[in-house]
Amino acid sequence: MRIPRLLLFSLAVTPCLDAAPAAPAAAPDPAHVWDLTLLYKDQAAFDAAKAKLTADLPKLKDFQGRLGKDAATLRQAMELLTDLQGQYFRLGSYAAQASDENLRDAAAMERSQEIDMLASELSNAASFVNPELLAVGEQTITRFLAHEPGLAVYRFPIMDTLRNAPHTLGAEAESVLSSSSAITDTPSSLYGVLANADLPWPTIKLADGTEARLDQAGYTRWRSAANRADRQAVFEAFWGKMKEYERTFGVALFSQVKTDWFNARVRKYPSSLAAALSGNNVPESVYRTLLAQTNANLPTLHRYFKLRGRMLGVSDLRYWDIYPPMVQLEKKFPYELSKQLTLAAVQPLGADYIAGITESMEGRYTHVYPRPGKRSGAYSSGSVHDAHPYVLLNHNDDYESLSTLAHEWGHGMHSVLANRAQPAPLANYSIFTAEIASTCNEALLLDHMLKIAKDDDERLFYLGSALEGLRGTFFRQAMFAEFELRIHEEVEKGNALSGDALTKIYGEILRRYHGDAEGVLKIDELVTVEWAYIPHFYRNFYVFQYATSIAASQAFAAKILAHEPGAVDTYLGLLKAGGSDYPYELVKKAGVDLATPAPYQALVQRMNTIMDQIEAILAKRGK
Ligand SMILES: [Zn+2]
Give the rounded percent of residues in the chain with a pLDDT score beyond 90: 81
Average the pLDDT over 70-95 and give the result. 96
Q: What is the per-residue pLDDT across 130-159, written as a single tens digit (0 to 9) for each? A: 889 999 999 999 999 999 999 999 999 999
The lowest-confidence range among 94-98, 117-121, 609-613 is 117-121
Give percent helix, percent strand, percent coil of the chain, each to the nearest 5. 70, 5, 30
| Domain residue ranges of the chain, discontinuous segments joined by + | 34-168
34-168 placed in CATH 1.20.140.70: yes
Query: Rounded to whole angstroms, how far apart are CA atoms 19 and 562?
Result: 32
**420, 581 in Cβ contact below 8 A?**
no
From residue 328, alpha-carbon distances to 331, 442, 588 in Å are 9, 19, 39
Max Cα distance, the chain (Å): 80
Q: How far is the CA of 477 from the centre of ligand 1 (A)?
A: 14
| Distance from Cα 278 to the centre of ligand 1, integer Å | 22
479 C-alpha to center of ligand 1: Å? 19
Quick check: 489 pLDDT over 60?
A: yes
Stronger pLDDT, 89 or 116, i.e. the higher one: 89
The band of 604, judged by pLDDT with boundaries at 50, 70 and 90, is very high
Residue 8 CA, ligand 1 centroid: distance in Å: 20
- Give the three-state DSSP class for 500: helix
In this prediction, residues 416-433 reach a mean pLDDT of: 95
Residue 464 CA, ligand 1 centroid: distance in Å: 20
The edge-to-edge listing of strands for the beta sheet with 379-381 is: 366-367, 390-392, 379-381
Distance 74 CA to ligand 1 centre (A): 36
pLDDT digits (tens, 9 = 90+) for 442-470: 999 999 999 999 999 999 999 999 999 99
Among candidate residues 101, 132, 246, 408, the one labeled active-site is: 408
Distance between CA atoms of residues 319 and 529, nearest Å: 12
Q: Which residue has the higher pLDDT, 124 or 542?
A: 542
266-290: per-residue pLDDT in tens? 999 999 999 999 999 999 999 999 9
**pLDDT for the residue 20:** 46
Of 102, 129, 180, give the one whose Cα is nearest residue 9: 129
Q: What does the pLDDT look like over 383-418, one tens digit per residue? A: 999 999 999 999 999 999 999 999 999 999 999 999
Catalytic (active site) residue 408: yes
Question: Ligand 1: distance of its center to the CA of 434 in Å?
Answer: 7
The pLDDT score that the predictor gives to residue 16 is: 61
Looking at residue 152, what is its pLDDT? 96
Averaged confidence pLDDT in the chain: 92
Contact 71, 141 (CB under 8 A): no
pTM above 0.85, yes or no: yes
CA 439–ligand 1 middle distance (angstroms): 7
| Average pLDDT for 503-529 | 98
> 83-122: string of b/e by CB count within 10 Å (b at 16+)?
ebbbbbbbbbbbbbbbbbbebeeeebbebbeebeebbeeb
How far does Cα 163 stand from its chain's mean position? 26
Question: What is the reported pLDDT for 384?
Answer: 95
For residue 203, the cross-strand partners are 213
Q: Is 455 exposed, middle or buried (0-12, 13-18, 19+ CB in 10 A)?
A: exposed
> What is the Cα–Cα distance from 11 to 251, expressed in whole angstroms?
30
Query: Are 412 and 391 contacting, i.e. CB atoms less than 8 angstroms apart?
Result: yes
**162-195: per-residue pLDDT in tens?**
998 899 887 778 778 777 776 787 898 888 888 8
pLDDT over 70 at 7, yes or no: no
CB atoms within 10 A of CB 20: 20
pLDDT for 363 beyond 70: yes
Can you give the pLDDT at residue 3? Answer: 36
Ligand 1 centroid from CA 99, angstroms: 21
Instruction: Compute the distance from residue 430 Cα to the ligand 1 centre, in Å.
Output: 12
The pLDDT, as a whole number, for residue 475 is: 98
Separation of CA 409 and ligand 1 centre (Å):
9
Mean pLDDT, rounded, for 547-570? 97
User: Residue 359: pLDDT above 70?
Assistant: yes
Question: Which of these ranges, 135-149, 365-379, 503-517, has the smallest mean pLDDT?
Answer: 365-379
Angle subtended at Cα 426 by Cα 86 and Cα 384, rounded to the nearest 5 degrees? 30
- 108 C-alpha to center of ligand 1: Å? 25
In angstroms, the CA 426 to CA 150 distance is 14
Whole-angstrom distance, CA of residue 17 vs CA of residue 539: 14
Q: What is the pLDDT of residue 201?
A: 92
pLDDT band of 22, cuts 50, 70, 90:
very low
